[in-house]
Amino acid sequence: MKVRQFVFLSGICAVLLFAQSARPGMAASDAFPQRIAGVWVGSGSIHQAPGAPRERVRCRLSAKWAKQKSSIAIRYICLGIDIKFETTGTLKFNQTRQTIAGKLITVGIGAFSARGKRRGNGVVLSLAGKDKKTGKPVNGTLSISLKGSASLASTLTATDAKTGKRFQAFKARFKR
């Protein structure tokens, strides 16, 4: 998998962490998207391809809930020794169906779709798009789970463009 494709997927992984986070002091019955607004910081690791060495990253995520639009505006920045990326976008939440869908843009790489459904204390999302410079498809599956009231964990499984093999591309923990 090329670095460009990997950076997109790892950036999207953290952006979508918001899909199941909870704000301290809010009841479980509170509207799902309202609980995800705010700032999160965390760290994790990235693998650029199957068997590649891992790189540690530090990340900051910001989300702003727009109640009238039922949408979440996202800004995500992640830094490692050799990797720096920013992903922004808007995800629309359907309260009745408990689904999330939207468009995200990773600077220098391109626009991508994200679709998923809430499941228990987590969410599973499908990611798809094309690298704007190479034209190659980029896809992955993101699993997110809430750990307590102010912590969450996420894992991204991606497909290597060269071999077609699935591998764990990103793993991170975030706190408020």
Give the model's pLDDT for residue 9.
52
Percentage of the chain modeled with pLDDT above 90: 13
| pLDDT, mean of residues 63-81 | 87
The answer to whether residue 156 scores a pLDDT higher than 60 is yes
| pLDDT, mean of residues 72-89 | 86
Phi-psi group of 36: left, alpha or beta (phi > 0 → left; psi -120 to 50 → alpha; rest → beta):
alpha
Give the model's pLDDT for residue 42.
95
Q: Which domains, ranges and CATH numbers included, belong to the chain?
A: 3-46+56-175 (2.40.128.20)
Q: How many helices (H) and strands (E) does the chain have?
A: 1, 10
For the ranges 5-19, 32-46, 75-89, the lowest mean pLDDT is seen at: 5-19
Instruction: Compare 132 and 34 and report the one with higher pLDDT.
Output: 132
115 band by pLDDT with thresholds 50, 70 and 90: very high
pLDDT digits (tens, 9 = 90+) for 26-47: 444 344 556 667 788 999 998 8
40's CB contacts (< 8 A; 6+ apart) are: 17, 18, 21, 60, 61, 62, 63, 152, 174, 175, 176
Mean pLDDT over the full length of the chain: 77
| Whether 2 contacts 134, CB under 8 Å | yes
Give the model's pLDDT for residue 56.
95
Answer whether 0.85 is exceeded by the pTM. Answer: no
The answer to whether residue 51 scores a pLDDT higher than 70 is yes
